[in-house]
Structures are given as C-alpha cells and as structure tokens.
C-alpha cells in the first residue's frame, strides 16, 4: 500500500514550507530513512527522510514550491503499485509537467495538521454586544486568554469605529491613574485640561482622573468646519474609547458641561455620575462680550481684562493665564477653531444649544454647581431643572468653581463618586 | 415595634430559636444523641433539658437510623421533632428514613400526610475531625425532591431560618458549619423568621459575583475586603437555602457583573457549584457572561487529619482572592 509523503511541521509556528530540493526523482527507488527532500521555512532548512521503502511516485511539488504544512508532496509505492487515483490524476506527473503555482491539497488528507479553529472564541457577552453593534467578533482582536474576545474588546472596537467615521479624537491626559471608575473632566470654552489640576490634587488619591482637551483647545485637533455639539461629544467619546474608559464619573465645566450632559444621556449607565459646573446649554443668556473680546484679544493687555470676568477673585485663576492662553493659541493656531465653535454654538452672544432634555434623560446621580456671582452664565439657569438633579449655588464664587471653591468642589465630587458607585452596585 | 437586638453567638441563636418554638408550640421537641444533660456534641441544646424537661429534650440511643425512624414517625403523627445528628457524616446511617421516607411520604400518600421534621447537622472541616467527621454533604440532600436544605451563615439567619424550618410542614435539613458556632452577631430577641427561598446579598460589587454559603460566605466576604483594596469590587451572595435555590438573585447579579465564582466546601465535582453554574448557563444571564464560570470546591479527597492538609483540602480566603482576581482581570 502506498505511503504518503507529506510536508511536515518542523517548528511550532510554521504554517507553510518550501520544498527547496528533492534528493530523489519520480520513479526512483528509496529506502526508509534515506534523505528524500529538503524543506525551507522562515527560520531554517531541514532534510526530510523517506517514511518507507519503495518507489517515489506522484511527486506533487516542484523545487521552490511553497506548500501548507501537511500537504502531500508525493507517495512511496510498492513495486508495480500506482499512487492513489487523486494524486495520479493530478497534473504533476513529473517535474517536467509541474503546474505553475503551488499545489493545493485538500485538508482531509493532512493528518499532521491540527483542525483549523472555527473563528475567534468570544464570551457570550462579547458576542451579544458585537451583534448589537453590527460587528463581527471574528474580526476583533481578543484580549482574553488564548485571544478570547471579551466585552472590553467590543467596546474598544465600537469606540475606534466611531473615531474612524470622521470625529477627531480629543487629546487626553491622565492627571492621575487609579483603581475603579475614574473621573473624566471636560473643560470649558477657551480653557484646556490643565484647569482641573488644582482640583484633582484634592480628590481621593486612589481614583483615576482623565482630563480631555476639547476639539480646538489645548493639544486636541481642531473642530470640523461644520462644528456641532454632537461633534464635540463624538470627539470625547472617541478619546474615552481609545483610553479604554468604559465606565466613569463625568465632570464638565461651562461648554464642557453641555458636552458632558449630552454624553451622559447618550451613554446612560456607563456614566456613573454627572457633575455640571457652571454649564452651558441650560438657558439662552451668556456674556457675548466676553466671547467676542476673548477671541479678538491679541495681547496680554487686551486679554487680561476679559479673563478677570472668569472669577470673583481673579487670583484664584493663577498667574500668567493670559500669557499662557495667547502662547498656546499662537503655537497651535487655535483661534479659528475656537471662533468656529463660538459662532456655531453661541451665535450672536446667545446659547444656541439646549441640554435640558439630555439632563432629564440621564438617570444617574446628577448635580449642577454654579457660583452665585458667575459673570459669564447666569446661575439662575439652574432653576427649574428635573427634580432629581441636585443644585449647588456657591456664595462668593464666579464662573470657575473648580478653581475658586476647590474644597467645596472636592467634597461634591467625592459625594458624587460614592453615590454613583453605590447606585451601580 | 422593634425587638431589642443583642450580640449573640451562632450556637446560642440556634438554642434561642429552639426555646422559642418549644415555648410557643408544645408539639415541638428536640431529640438526638447527648442533646440532654450533656448539652449536645457542640453544646447547642445546652440547658434546654433543664428548661423543658426530658420529655421534650430526648436523649436517643447511639443509632442514627433508630433516631431518624422515631423522628419521622413522630412527625407523621402530628409532632414537630427537631432531630440533631452529632455530625452530618452520620447521616449516612439515617439515609433510609430521611430520603426514602421523610422526603417521599407526602407524595406517595397523595398529600394526605406531611412530615414536619427538622434534622440539624453540624457540617464541614476545620476542627481536625478527619475523614469521617468533616464532610460537607449538602449536595446529597439538595439532590432529593421533597427535602429543603438550609445552611445559615450568621447568627441572625441561624435563628430566623431555624424558626422558619420548624414552621415548615415538610422535612428540612439544617446544616450548621462547626466553625461558625463560636461566631457572634446581632440577633433580635423574640420570634422572627427568615424565609426559606431567598438569597441574601451580603456585599454589593460590580466586578464579579461570588456565591458562597455558610462558612464559605464568611471567607468570601474576607476575600472581598482584600479584593476591594486592589480595586476589585466583588458582590457576595449567600444563598442561605440550597434547596429551593434562589437563582433569580444570582442571575440578576451575574447580569450586572458578567462574572461568576462559586465557592463551596464539598468536593468540587458534582456539587452545588455545578448546579449554580449550569443554571446560569441555561438561563438568560448566559448572554451577559464575559468570562468562564469558575468553581472553587473541596479537593477530591477525604478530608485529611493533618491540619496543613485539612486546610489545603478546602477553599481558603487566599484561594478565593486569587480566583476572583483572575476573573476580574479577564485572565480566566
């Protein structure tokens, strides 16, 4: 009975091998153990011995052909015996008549190859989430043991998908790494993520804090030409996905507050708590003169008077804010992007955005914090919010409670974290 | 009106439940080997014989089968016996009466009789009792239709569950882990019952669900404290009653946490862990699993006498921490 000669697996991660040289020709007698052919893999060349004694027939690989591991390269037949019909019928009767390309061999005659895995393994939850998102789990890279796709992988893929579909991804910086769901901070118009640093100093040191630069601010890419509130939300969401932050406590200031409210309504229970600090989007009034003056200023002398409106006590904003703002604007060319945001969301000195429905839709612990002396957005916008939204109006504080009332803000965020964590349990 | 609450030991809480039931209902009586003057192998019945007399605190001969037969007969004729076995291991001798008679008579006689019997059994390892005095046989009884199987963790539950078991018209197997007898906890005075069909969430958490009863629930809580310091929040569910098992509570939790670890002292294979895991895999919670279900059970060996080996033969806090960590980190 004819014995098949196969291309063996000679190292663990080998999938194909090249027949680099035959030591025997079609029709030639070979003895078991005699060198029969040489294979080359990505790593090494190796001589293969004849598995039996007899006559080499039905050679199915030319020198130089690359074949899958387990492919039959020929047969060793007894005297007068022909190779099995399929091999004999193959176009390769001899090296002369060899086909142009590598020979394909059916998998069912490849005893040394393992059965191919039928797609990626995935947890039931990952499969369910992928189905809901219209993703194919087989296309995802699994982070679990043996490459198993887990829910986190699907969530990441969804985030990355959103980023690819056009939204620029906001720049983020971990002000602190920690355990459990982190705080995510979104700054206001004209600021950048560094505005949160003094407050984060006062927060529970075991909890992480991720601060993001809004599009057109800090180190983030500029906003799209037709910027909308949703575009800002998408940029934030893409950043969160890229950072692998699936569940978190969300804090937003001013324009960042409006973005936070929209994001919270969109992500629902993934946002454990929502804290809006002097948020935009709750009413039409805003200090339009500030917006115009801020954007138009080209020198410390013309910018500083406007910045003084940001806080009841401008000292709390820190020294050098005007210089730093102008420097960043120049280096990164932030002016046009910020002007686009102002024109689209705050045209004619009016807030053209409304996040009250989003705030009402969010079911988790939500608070709104205003300074009673806010000169940019009137604190009376906190009146008439849904009953479940707690409101703090801090005496003697202006538009930047996170800088002006750091201890109060730290306590509020600590309460929010506790309430959010407890609710999700 | 709220009853005053004191700290009470687990054994005292059981004794208090027995005393309340006996004072309220003259049909209730206690029987077993050395439950009278000696006060019980683990001093659970204590002074009950002085308070209620030898007719209601009955010392039986050293025959578990004989005692069980008397108990089943007494229950059939209208009394409410609470039968104590010195060790759950000795239930093997009483199996005929418990499994073939007590569990089945209501069904075989068309509902015309019931067997309002409670069998109390000290269970588990940890006291150097070796192979014949340390087993955890809950799964044997939980496999039998017609029986209820209870395993309390706290003194509060021990009292409330035992009163509910005595009230129950059908046979209840009441497992008491020996390591819990000396534990203390708040227990209200007077009568209250803990229902025989409801699990208790002893700690809330969102990263994984740990199901464990009796002393294993205690170990799971200790493990959860350690895990919390690493940022892993484990939810600990104490079934309290193994048959009927409150799977709805477990399923709700798993739907939220996506990860399940079951810890039990009995041999791992064919145990309560398999039942809980299978019930989750069969139900709606399956689609929420984000990791394999893990079981931590006893080693596949009789409990050894050597203290070191005895400890190694059943799950310990560090084993639970390690398994939970693997699950929560997506490494399982």
Inform me whether the C-beta atom of residue A131 falls under 8 Å from chain B C-beta atoms: no
Residue B283 CA from chain centroid, whole number: 25
Measured between alpha carbons, how far is B323 from B208 in angstroms, rounded to an integer? 11
Same-domain check for residues B143 and B21? yes
β-bridge pairing A179-186 and A248-253: parallel
Same-domain check for residues B177 and B235? no
Most distant CA atoms of chain B, gap in Å: 60
More confident residue, A189 or A32: A189
CATH of the domain at B305: 3.40.50.920
Measured between alpha carbons, how far is B272 from B253 in angstroms, rounded to an integer? 18
Same-domain check for residues B166 and B47? yes
pLDDT tens digit sequence for A327-349? 888 888 899 999 999 999 999 88
Same-domain check for residues B178 and B48? yes
Task: Please state the domain count of chain B.
Answer: 2
Specify the pLDDT at position A79. 79
- Positive or negative: CA dihedral B18, B20, B21, B22: positive
Computed over every residue of chain B, the mean pLDDT equals: 97
Specify the pLDDT at position A384. 92
Inform me whether the C-beta atom of residue B228 falls under 8 Å from chain A C-beta atoms: no
Same-domain check for residues B215 and B182? no
Q: Which of B129, B157, B186 is the C-terminal boundary of a domain?
A: B186
Chain B (236-295) residues lying within 8 Å, Cβ to Cβ, of chain A: 256, 258, 286-291
Q: Do A425 and B233 touch (CB under 8 A)?
A: yes
Measured between alpha carbons, how far is A173 from A115 in angstroms, rounded to an integer? 46
Measured between alpha carbons, how far is B136 from B69 in angstroms, rounded to an integer? 23
Using CB atoms, which residue from B205, B291, B330 is nearest to A425? Answer: B205
Structure tokens at A97: 């008549």
Bond before A11 cis per omega within 30 degrees: no
B192 lies in a domain? no
Same-domain check for residues B157 and B220? no
Q: By three-state DSSP, how is residue A245 classified?
A: coil
- Positive or negative: CA dihedral B206, B210, B212, B218: negative
Query: What is the full DSSP assignment across A30-50?
Result: E-TTSEEEEEE-SS-EEEEE-
Distance from CA of B274 to the nearest CA of A (A): 19
- Helix then strand count (H, E) for chain B reads 12, 14
Examine the pLDDT at A162 and tell me if it is beyond 80: no
Q: Which of B159, B186, B213 is the C-terminal boundary of a domain?
A: B186
> Which residues form the domain of B270?
200-326
Specify the pLDDT at position A15. 75
More confident residue, B246 or A86: B246
Measured between alpha carbons, how far is B22 from B56 in angstroms, rounded to an integer? 8
β-bridge partners, B234: B208
β-bridge partners, B28: B80
Examine the pLDDT at A305 and tell me if it is beyond 70: yes
Are B37 and B169 within 8 A, CB to CB?
no
Among A12-21, B18-27, B77-86, B201-210, whose mean pLDDT is lowest? A12-21
Give the residue from A145, A146, A268 with the most B CB atoms within 10 Å of its CB, the best one to mutate. A145
Query: What is the full DSSP assignment across A203-225?
Result: S-TTEEEEEEEPTTSTTSPPPPT
B332 lies in a domain? no
More confident residue, A1 or B13: B13
User: All domains of chain A, ordered by start, with CATH?
Assistant: 3-77 (2.40.50.100), 124-160 (4.10.320.10), 168-423 (3.40.50.1820)
Count CB-CB contacts under 10 A for residue B68.
26
Examine the pLDDT at A105 and tell me if it is beyond 60: no
H/E run at residue B197? none
Using CB atoms, which residue from B330, B331, B332 is nearest to A152? Answer: B330
Specify the pLDDT at position B39. 97
B252 lies in a domain? yes
Measured between alpha carbons, how far is A148 from A376 in angstroms, rounded to an integer? 51
Structure tokens at B40: 């019980």
Count CB-CB contacts under 10 A for residue A281.
26
Percent of chain A clearing pLDDT 90 (strictly above): 44
Percent of chain A clearing pLDDT 70 (strictly above): 88
B191 lies in a domain? no
CB burial class (10 A; 0-12, 13-18, 19+) of residue A363?
Answer: middle
pLDDT band of A12, cuts 50, 70, 90: low
Task: Count how many residues are written for chain A.
Answer: 425
Same-domain check for residues B59 and B169? yes
List the catalytic residue out of B12, B33, B64, B275: B64
Q: What is the mean pLDDT of residues B141-146?
A: 98
pLDDT band of A221, cuts 50, 70, 90: confident
Measured between alpha carbons, how far is A252 from A254 in angstroms, rounded to an integer? 7
Structure tokens at B188: 């209200």
Q: Work out the angle at residue A276's Cα, subtended by the Cα atoms of residues A273 and A279, and round it to the nearest 5 degrees.
A: 155
Specify the pLDDT at position A26. 87
Bond before B40 cis per omega within 30 degrees: no
Structure tokens at A169: 């991804």
Same-domain check for residues B177 and B212? no
Q: Which of B151, B186, B221 is the C-terminal boundary of a domain?
A: B186
CA dihedral (A399, A400, A405, A409) in degrees, to 10, reads: 110
CATH of the domain at B115: 3.40.50.970
Q: Do B288 and A425 touch (CB under 8 A)?
A: no
B179 lies in a domain? yes
pLDDT tens digit sequence for B150-193? 999 999 999 999 999 999 999 999 999 999 999 999 999 999 99
Same-domain check for residues B182 and B230? no
Specify the pLDDT at position A135. 84
pTM of the model: 0.56
Are B161 and B194 within 8 A, CB to CB?
yes
Angle between helices B247-257 and B272-282 (to 10 degrees): 60
Q: Among the residues of chain B, which ranges form H helices?
A: 10-24, 48-52, 64-76, 91-95, 105-108, 138-142, 155-167, 215-229, 247-257, 272-282, 307-312, 317-328
Inform me whether the C-beta atom of residue B205 falls under 8 Å from chain A C-beta atoms: yes
Inform me whether the C-beta atom of residue B20 falls under 8 Å from chain A C-beta atoms: no
Measured between alpha carbons, how far is A46 from A28 in angstroms, rounded to an integer? 21
Specify the pLDDT at position A167. 59
Are A218 and A150 within 8 A, CB to CB?
no
Specify the pLDDT at position A425. 57
pLDDT band of A120, cuts 50, 70, 90: low
Same-domain check for residues B220 and B253? yes
Same-domain check for residues B141 and B265? no
pLDDT tens digit sequence for B285-318? 999 999 999 999 999 999 999 999 999 999 999 9
B56 lies in a domain? yes
H/E run at residue A243? helix A229-243
Output DSSP code: residue A312.
S
Q: Do B289 and A124 touch (CB under 8 A)?
A: yes
Same-domain check for residues B175 and B236? no
Specify the pLDDT at position A104. 40
Q: What is the mean pLDDT of residues A280-296?
A: 93
B195 lies in a domain? no
Specify the pLDDT at position B273. 98
B194 lies in a domain? no
pLDDT band of A165, cuts 50, 70, 90: very low
Residue A255 phi/psi, 5-degree rounding, is -60, -35
Measured between alpha carbons, how far is B48 from B39 in angstroms, rounded to an integer? 8
Among A42-51, A300-309, A318-327, B44-53, whose mean pLDDT is lowest? A42-51
Using CB atoms, which residue from A143, A178, A179 is nearest to B330? Answer: A143
Q: What is the mean pLDDT of residues A352-360?
A: 92
């Amino acid at each position: 009975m004819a014995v098949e000669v196969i291309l063996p697996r000679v190292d663990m991660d080998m999938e194909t091998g090249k027949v680099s040289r035959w030591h025997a020709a079609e029709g030639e007698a070979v003895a078991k153990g005699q060198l029969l052919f040489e294979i080359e893999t990505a790593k090494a060349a190796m001589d293969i011995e004849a598995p039996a004694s007899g006559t080499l027939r039905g050679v199915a690989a030319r020198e130089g052909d690359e074949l899958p591991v387990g492919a039959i390269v020929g047969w060793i037949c007894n005297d007068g015996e022909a190779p099995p019909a399929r091999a004999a019928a193959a176009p390769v009767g001899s090296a002369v008549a060899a086909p142009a390309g590598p020979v394909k061999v059916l998998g069912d005659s490849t005893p040394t190859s393992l059965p191919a895995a039928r797609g990626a393994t995935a947890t039931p939850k990952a499969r369910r989430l992928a189905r809901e998102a219209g993703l194919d789990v087989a296309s995802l890279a699994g982070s679990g043991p043996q490459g198993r796709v887990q829910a986190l992988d699907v969530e990441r893929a969804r985030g990355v998908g959103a980023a690819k579909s056009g939204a620029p991804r906001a720049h983020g910086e971990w002000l602190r790494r920690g355990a459990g769901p982190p705080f995510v901070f979104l700054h206001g118009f004209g600021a950048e993520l560094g505005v949160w640093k003094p407050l984060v100093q006062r927060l529970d040191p075991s909890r992480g804090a991720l601060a993001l630069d809004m599009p057109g601010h800090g180190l983030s890419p500029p906003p799209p030409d037709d910027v909308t509130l949703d575009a800002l939300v998408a940029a934030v969401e893409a950043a969160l996905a890229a950072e692998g932050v699936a569940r978190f406590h969300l804090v937003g200031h001013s324009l960042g507050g409006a973005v936070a409210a929209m994001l919270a309504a969109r992500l629902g229970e993934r946002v454990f708590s929502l804290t809006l600090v002097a948020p935009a989007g709750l009413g039409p009034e805003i200090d339009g003169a500030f917006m115009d003056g801020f954007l138009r200023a080209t020198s410390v002398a013309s910018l500083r008077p406007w910045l003084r409106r940001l806080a009841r006590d401008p000292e709390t904003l820190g020294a050098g804010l005007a210089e730093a703002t102008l420097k960043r604007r120049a280096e990164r060319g932030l002016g046009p992007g910020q002007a686009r945001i102002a024109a689209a969301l705050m045209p004619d000195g009016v807030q053209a955005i409304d996040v009250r429905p989003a705030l009402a839709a969010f079911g988790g612990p939500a608070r709104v914090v205003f300074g009673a002396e806010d000169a940019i957005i009137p604190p009376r916008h906190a009146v008439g919010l849904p009953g479940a939204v707690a409101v703090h109006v801090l005496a003697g504080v202006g538009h930047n409670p996170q800088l002006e009332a750091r201890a109060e803000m730290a306590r509020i965020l600590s309460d929010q974290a506790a309430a959010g964590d407890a609710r999700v349990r | 009106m709220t009853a005053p609450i004191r700290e009470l030991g687990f054994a005292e809480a059981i004794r208090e439940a027995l005393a309340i039931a006996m004072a309220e209902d003259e049909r209730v009586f206690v029987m077993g080997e050395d439950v009278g003057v000696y006060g019980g192998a683990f001093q659970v019945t204590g002074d009950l014989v002085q308070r209620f007399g030898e007719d209601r605190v009955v010392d039986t001969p050293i025959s578990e089968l004989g005692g069980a037969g008397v108990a089943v007969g007494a229950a059939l004729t209208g009394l409410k016996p609470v039968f104590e076995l010195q060790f759950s291991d000795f239930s093997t001798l009483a199996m005929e009466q418990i499994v073939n008679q007590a569990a089945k008579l209501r069904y075989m006689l068309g509902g015309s009789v019931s067997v309002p019997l409670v069998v109390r059994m000290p269970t588990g390892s940890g006291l150097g009792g070796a192979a014949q005095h340390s087993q955890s046989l809950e799964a044997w009884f939980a496999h039998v239709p017609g029986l209820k199987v209870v395993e309390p963790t706290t003194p509060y539950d021990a009292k409330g569950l035992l009163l509910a078991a005595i009230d129950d018209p059908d046979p209840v197997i009441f497992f008491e882990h020996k390591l819990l007898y000396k534990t203390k906890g708040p227990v209200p005075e007077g009568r209250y019952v803990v229902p025989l069909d409801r699990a208790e969430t002893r700690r809330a958490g969102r990263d994984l669900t740990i199901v464990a009863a009796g002393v294993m629930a205690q170990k799971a809580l200790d493990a959860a404290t350690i895990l919390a310091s690493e940022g892993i929040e484990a939810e600990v569910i104490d079934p309290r009653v193994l048959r009927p098992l409150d799977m709805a509570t477990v399923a709700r939790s798993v739907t939220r946490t996506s990860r399940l670890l079951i810890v039990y002292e009995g041999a791992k294979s064919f145990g309560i862990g398999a039942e809980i895991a299978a019930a989750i895999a069969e139900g709606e919670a399956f689609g929420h699993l984000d990791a394999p279900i893990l079981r931590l059970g006893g080693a596949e060996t009789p409990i050894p006498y050597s203290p070191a080996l005895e400890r190694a033969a059943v799950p310990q806090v560090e084993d639970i921490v390690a398994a939970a960590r693997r699950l929560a980190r997506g490494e399982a």
